[in-house]
Structures are given as C-alpha cells and as structure tokens.
Structure 1
Amino acid sequence: MTHEERGDSLADQAAAWIPPWQRPAPPAEAAAPDRDPEDAGVVGAAAAGSSGQMTEAADEAGAAADGATAEQTPSGTAGAAVVRRQRSGRGRPAPEPAPVLEDTELRGALEAILLVVDEPVSELTLAQVLEQPPERIGPMLDQIAAGYTAAGHGFDLRRAAGGWRLYTRPEYATYVERFVLDGQSVRITQAALETLAVVAYKQPVTRSRISAIRGVNCDGVIRTLVSRGLIEECGTESDSGAFLYRTTTMFLEKLGLNSLDDLPPLAPFLPDDVEELADASR
C-alpha cells in the first residue's frame, strides 16, 4: 500500500467516525445480554428513584384527599382523624355489649332495687344500673305491678313523680295508721330524742337549724318523727323557703303535757360555762 492510499483510507475513516454520545442507542433487547452488571445497578437505582417519586406523588394525592375529607367533615381535624382510622382499620374495637338478663332475673333485680329506694326512681336510671335496654324496663314494671294487684298484696307498684315506687294500698291505710301512731312498741332512739327536744324548744325550726345544733345530719330522724306523728310541717321560712317543723298534739299527749308552756326549763340542764361555749362558737 502506498503512502497516498494509506492516507486516503485514514482520512476516510476519520470522516466516517461518529462520537459515542452522538451514536443512536441500540435496542433494549440487543443491549440487555451485553449490559455490564454495574450498568444494570445504575438502571435499577434509577427505576427505584422513579418508583419512589411515584409513591411520594401517591402519598401526596392521598393526603390531599384526606384534607378534602376533613374540610367536608363538620368536626374538622377530629373528623379527618376518624376518617383516617376508618380507612386504615386502626380504630378502637367497639365495647362488648352487656349480657341480656332473663325475665326472671330482671324481675328480681327490679324488685330488690325498689325495696330500698326512698323516692321514685325513673326507668332510665334502672336501665343504667342494670345495664339493660330501657325499652325492657317499662313493660317489666307494668307486669310486676299487675302481678301484685292480681295476687292481692297489701302493697302495689305505682308511677309517681316521673318514676316508680312501692306504696301501701289505700284499703289498708287504717291498719298502717294504727301501727304508725298507736301500735309502735319500739323505743325511740337517743338521736330521735335529741332531735325532738330541739324541735320542742326551738319550734318552729328548719332542718338545717336542727342539724347545726346537733352537729349531725338529721334528715332521717326527722322523717321518723314525722311518720310517728310527733312533729309536723308548719309552713316555710320566709328567707330561705325551707320547711319549718313543730311538735304535734300527740307529742303533748305522749309526754302528758297540757301545752308547750309545761315543758321543763332548760336552765338546770345547761352547763355552767354555757356563755363561754356560746362565745367560742361565735
């Protein structure tokens, strides 16, 4: 080969040479077998980055959807939190319902409660205490009341003041009155004697005043004295509206007195330092 022929061939080769960055990419099928492992790792990383971007975009879209739900929910953030818990399934499990009592057990439970109440109790209160549906309480109480009437008991179950309570029947009122007023053989307690003395010497007097003098609550004792006919209500206090109490004619009869003027004076029963005690109490 002459120098000119070799120069022409080199020139032709130089003119036909194309830089790698300008060469067309080979088909994927043809390039895959000859791909270097490092190149495959780079491609995988790029694919993972693209997948991560897609995941982030999906998360942003989900957050935007949650935000839209929160705006539509009246409770705002709390409503959005509830929606998220419902979507994720992470909400607290619902509490187990209370066992439903059988009719026999429910009847016995209601009767036991009604025997100890001192005022009418509502159906809703009974349902809450027994953890039973309120719609079961009313019909069961009606059945109990009908059963007492059919059996001819001396007491019955009646609605009163928005609730239920056991009462003695009107046809036996004479016997009950005789027992309360004349037939009581149980001695009066010390607390009742002290309360009765306060009423006798301070009448008319309120419950709060009696409790302040005795230093203890005396509501139960007053109810006992009223039920035995020894004291009675006699109006209300003008300032507070509290009930006033006084002794009855039966009180004078039981003590053998003609009037309250016959009550013994208190002076002999007072301590010698009563004035000092009064000053200290002030």
Structure 2
Amino acid sequence: MIDDEILAGIEAVLMITDSAVTAEDLAGSLGLDEETVLEAIQTLKADYDGDEHHRQRGFEIRHVAGGFRIFSRGDYHEVVKDFLTAGQSAKLSQAALETLAVIAYRQPISRPRIAAIRGVSVDGVIRTLLLRGLIVEAGKEASTSALLYATTPQFLDTMGMNAIDDLPDIAPYLPEDADVAELGAQDTEVLAEIDGALDDDLDDDSDSAAEMSRVAD
C-alpha cells in the first residue's frame, strides 16, 4: 500500500505543472523508484475515478505525451466551458491581460515562451483566451513542435483596432537598455549580458573603494 505522503507529493507536483511529467522525473524529485511512482499514480487514478463507496472526482489523471497530468474530467467539459465563457463582457483577470499582451506583441509565440516571459504557468489562462476567441492556435514551433498562438480578428475588434500594427509602442515604458525583440527568443544571452554588467559594476565599485582607501591613507 502506497504511503499517503507519497500520494500527496505526486498530487502536489501534478497540480502545478503546465506540461506532462514523466514517471522518471517524479521519481527523481520525490526520491522514489519509478515502479513506486507508477503504482502511486494508479492508486490516485482509482481514487479519482471513484467506486461504490466513494464519489467520482471532477478531475482525473491522464497519461499524455509520455508523462502524466491532472485534467478536469471530460464528462464535465460543457460545465467548464460554460463557466469560462459565461459573461463574455466580463473583464479579463490581470493574469489574462498580461498573457494576452505578451501574445499580441510577440505573436506567434509558444506557451513555454509565454510562461518564461511571465514567470508563471499560463496553461489555464491560455484556455480562457482561446474560449473567449481572443487568440487562436497558429501552427507549431519548428524547433520544439510546441503550439504557437496569435491574436484573432475578435481581439482587434475588442481593442478597437484595424490591424495589429495599431498596438501602441511599448518601448517608452521599458528600461533604456531593454530590447523587446530579444525577450524570450534570446533570454539566455540577455541575462548573460546583464550578469556581466553587474559584475563590471561590482568591480568598478571595488576599484573605487580601494582608490578612496589609498587617498585616505
């Protein structure tokens, strides 16, 4: 019988991930062997599916893309859809607005790149924007095969624009040394430059301090 703490640990990981997690990765993060992880997943799956003594949950574990994820149960697709699409005139959340802005300025862009720019999972927000008709799938990224997303004519209509070129220039709102074109695409190089600049500043500060010390002496 699988320990409750192991079951809870696997649940915790699967609840926060925005992509499928392999049994190998789960085993490594929890310090278990893969056989135990697979047995635990089957235990959780049976628990979620319910039986004559326990109710069926509104979510389930699915084996997808070589790993495991927790999804809302397919039986309740219409309920979830109605909830997400209820009140189309309702304001978007801050998270949805931020994600929509990233897509608008960087389209077409993949979900992993959006998540990297925002620093949080955007899985649920992407689904909401798709259901609202504000974004659409626009092919796949050549290097990773990840789905790409772009804004729709409905987005332009909602924003009162004729074309995506009507988006305001965001450069004035960014730091002077920020290069919007590099965001996400070459974030490693940009971070390396920033780290290098910080190191140079620290070296300059150290040299200045040493010089002041000599003058004082």
Please classify the TM superposition score into its range, dividing by the shorter chain length: 0.5 to 0.7
CA contact (8 A) 1:231 1:245 kept: yes
Q: Which residue of 2 aligns with 1:206?
A: 109
Q: Which residue of 1 aligns with 2:80?
A: 176
Q: Which residue of 2 aligns with 1:233?
A: 137
In structure 1, runs of 5+ residues without a counterpart are 1-100
CA contact (8 A) 1:199 1:247 kept: yes
**Aligned mates of 2:102, 2:85 — CA distance in 1:** 21
Fraction of identical pairs, as percent? 29
**Aligned mates of 2:142, 2:40 — CA distance in 1:** 44
CA contact (8 A) 1:195 1:221 kept: no
Structure 1's 111 and 220: CA in aligned 2 closer, same or farther, altered over 3 A?
closer
CA contact (8 A) 1:149 1:156 kept: yes
CA contact (8 A) 1:207 1:218 kept: no
**Aligned mates of 1:135, 1:261 — CA distance in 2:** 56
RMSD: 4.3
Indicate the SS of the match to 2:24. helix
Q: Which residue of 1 aligns with 2:14?
A: 114
Higher gyration radius (CA)? 1
**Aligned mates of 1:114, 1:281 — CA distance in 2:** 33
2:158 equivalent to 1:158: no
2:62 equivalent to 1:188: no
Q: Shift in Å at residue 232 of structure 1?
A: 1.7
Q: Shift in Å at residue 152 of structure 1?
A: 0.9
Q: Shift in Å at residue 248 of structure 1?
A: 2.7
Higher relative contact order (CA 8 A, sep 6+): 2
**Aligned mates of 2:141, 2:7 — CA distance in 1:** 43
Give the TM-score normalised by structure 1: 0.45
Structure 1's 281 and 223: CA in aligned 2 closer, same or farther, altered over 3 A?
closer
**Aligned mates of 1:165, 1:182 — CA distance in 2:** 26
Q: Shift in Å at residue 233 of structure 1?
A: 2.0
Give the TM-score normalised by structure 2: 0.55
The residue correspondences of 1:37-186 to structure 2 (distance < 5 A) are 103-150=3-50, 151-182=55-86
What do the CA deviations read for 1:53-80 (whole angstroms, capped 9, x no partner)?
A: xxxxxxxxxxxxxxxxxxxxxxxxxxxx
CA contact (8 A) 1:236 1:243 kept: yes
Q: Shift in Å at residue 251 of structure 1?
A: 2.7
Indicate the SS of the match to 1:121. coil
